[in-house]
Amino acid sequence: MDKRMVAFIRALRAAGVRISLAESQDAMYGTDAIGITNKDYFRAALKTTLVKEARDQEKFEQYFPLFFGSNQPPMQDIMSQMSPADQKMMQQAMQALQGDMQALQDLLRQLMQGQPFSQDQLDQMGKQSGMNQATDMYQRQWFERRMNRQAGLQQLQQLIEQLLQKLQEMGMSPQQAQELREMMQENAQGLADQIAQYVGAQLAEQSANREPDPKPDLLDVPFSRLGDEEVDAIRKEIRRLAARLRSRASLRQRRAKAGAPDPRRTMRANMKYHGTPMELKFRKRHVKPALVVICDVSTSVRYCAEFLLTLIYELQDQVARTNSFIFISDLTDISMAFKEHEPQDAVQRVLMENRPGYYNTDLGYSLNTFKKDHLGLVTGKTTVIILGDGRNNFNDPRTDIVQDMQRRSRRLLWFNPENPGMWGTGDSDMLQYQPLADGVFYVSTLRDLANAVDKILTDG
């Protein structure tokens, strides 16, 4: 049992639960005092000593039955509950199932007798499905499906229906056939549950025996793979990231305050000295950008939009002005929210009020709304940022509006979190938008996003 508990603790650590050596010892002491005969008390002792944070409770509940649960499903011997006449009819019906593989018929007999899979059967199916190559718990459902196919559970459902049809042809009443179907389905579910338990336990043990991988820097985790914990951590750290960007931008402004020498202004200003350059004049190089930000907030790019808006509004002292819009099926002006609330509060309010739902993304229609109501915001001093994956659900992409916005603005930049290999596939119009932009940034991580924002601040 001690070895089992050590493996359980290692698996929890591999899953990201923080457990110290002292807490592991407390778990051992607690189970020694309480014992293992009462499973509820045993589980409570482990949970009390090992779980410190509410977010880790779900992982504990997921892993506990994999290490301390029973792999014997509740199954009933159907044949023993039948009368001798019905047993004889069943034997004749099973023999009459011609053309089915012997392995399937053996599985059907095992099902009728209420026999779970043996450990040798499970190990053999696991080997054939490649369980020894499994690495992470997220592969569990995939390996369950593979082992179900190895066991023949999918074909077994067809065989059950054939058997019931044959029994009814031989004189079994519909009511008896229905009762038999329910018992057989319960046993089949028990076998499927046994496979699920086996796969989960194998994955948990293999992760316990493997050293946990070092956690990647949050800046480098793709938005598509962010979990709830990582999103919360980024929300806490994003203000610190904005402070670093602000410091770098301010330093560049101080260095570039004078700018490069301007010969024409210098000569004109020194005419009073007969052309002798006594007073040097410089070009003004750094100008704070005026921004128009248009963000897709559909499910596929929602985190990216949230972090971009938060970053930009945390850096408002480095920006001349910002007008912000979001869209899914149509455009919404959200600029006022950032005038009334702090950036992170404003972003959360905006996302709460504009949830993704049944409506489909339509960038073309949203751009048409922008043209009708807000195109006057775009001038020769404006940097336009469009954040989205360029997917329009086969609607009109309105590239003519993007081209008009690019022509009127200082520059039009596109931020896309989708892998470039997917651009132009399916309903993606990104390959049509790409040549119309002055720059396209692939922003799959927070580091990519921060670098893109930093480049905008670099040259105003």
Q: How far apart are CA 298 and CA 353, in angstroms?
A: 13
Output the pLDDT for position 256. Answer: 47
Q: How far apart are CA 222 and CA 226, in angstroms?
A: 7
* Beta-bridge mates of residue 383: 291, 411
Which residue in 285, 139, 272, 241 sits closest to 199, CA to CA?
Answer: 139
Query: Does the predicted model carry a pTM greater than 0.75?
Result: no
Q: How far apart are CA 13 and CA 375, in angstroms?
A: 54
H helix or E strand, kind and range, residue 134? none
CATH class of 228-255+287-458: alpha beta
CA–CA–CA angle 438, 440, 444 (5° rounding): 160
3-17, 72-86, 317-331: which has the minimum mean pLDDT?
72-86
pLDDT digit string (tens) for 33-43?
Answer: 888 778 888 88
What is the average per-residue pLDDT within 121-138?
A: 77
Tell me the C-alpha to C-alpha distance, in Å, between residue 357 and each of 294, 297, 299, 353: 19, 11, 9, 12
72-76, 192-196, 208-212, 422-426: which has the minimum mean pLDDT?
208-212
Higher-confidence position of 216 and 310 = 310
Question: What is the DSSP-derived secondary structure letter of residue 428?
Answer: B
At CB < 8 A and 24+ separation, what contacts does 117-125 make? 117/151, 117/191, 117/194, 117/195, 117/198, 122/71, 122/194, 122/195, 122/198, 125/150, 125/151, 125/195
Q: How far apart are CA 366 and CA 354, in angstroms?
A: 14
Q: How far apart are CA 338 and CA 326, in angstroms?
A: 13
CA–CA–CA angle 371, 295, 368 (5° rounding): 20
* Burial class, 133, CB count within 10 angstroms (exposed 0-12 / middle 13-18 / buried 19+): exposed
Q: How far apart are CA 377 and CA 372, in angstroms?
A: 11
DSSP of 287-331: -PPEEEEEEE-SGGGHHHHHHHHHHHHHTGGGSSEEEEEEESSSE
Tell me the C-alpha to C-alpha distance, in Å, between residue 177 and each of 86, 92, 105, 165: 11, 15, 19, 9
pLDDT digit string (tens) for 267-281?
Answer: 778 787 777 776 776
% of the chain residues with pLDDT over 90: 19
Q: How far apart are CA 393 and CA 21, in angstroms?
A: 53
Output the pLDDT for position 282. Answer: 64
What is the average per-residue pLDDT within 444-454?
A: 89
Output the pLDDT for position 42. Answer: 82
Confidence class for position 398, pLDDT limits 50, 70, 90: very high
Q: Locate all alpha helices (DSSP H) within 69-173, ordered by sequence.
A: 84-95, 102-112, 119-128, 140-151, 153-169
DSSP of 228-268: HHHHHHHHHHHHHHHHHHHHHHHHHHHHTSS-SB-HHHHHH
Output the pLDDT for position 331. Answer: 92
What is the average per-residue pLDDT within 401-407?
A: 95
Pull the structure tokens for residue 379.
């001038």
Q: How far apart are CA 442 and CA 389, in angstroms?
A: 10
DSSP of 336-392: HHHHHS-HHHHHHHHHHHS---SSPP-HHHHHHHHHHHHGGG--TTEEEEEES--B-
Output the pLDDT for position 284. Answer: 59
DSSP of 58-80: HHHHHHHHHHHS--------TGG
Contact 321, 289 (CB under 8 A): no
Contact 6, 25 (CB under 8 A): no
Positive or negative torsion for Cα 21, 26, 29, 31? negative
Pull the structure tokens for residue 288.
């704070």
Q: How far apart are CA 48 and CA 29, in angstroms?
A: 12
Contact 129, 88 (CB under 8 A): no
189-203, 264-278, 290-304: which has the minimum mean pLDDT?
264-278
Confidence class for position 217, pLDDT limits 50, 70, 90: confident
Confidence class for position 293, pLDDT limits 50, 70, 90: very high
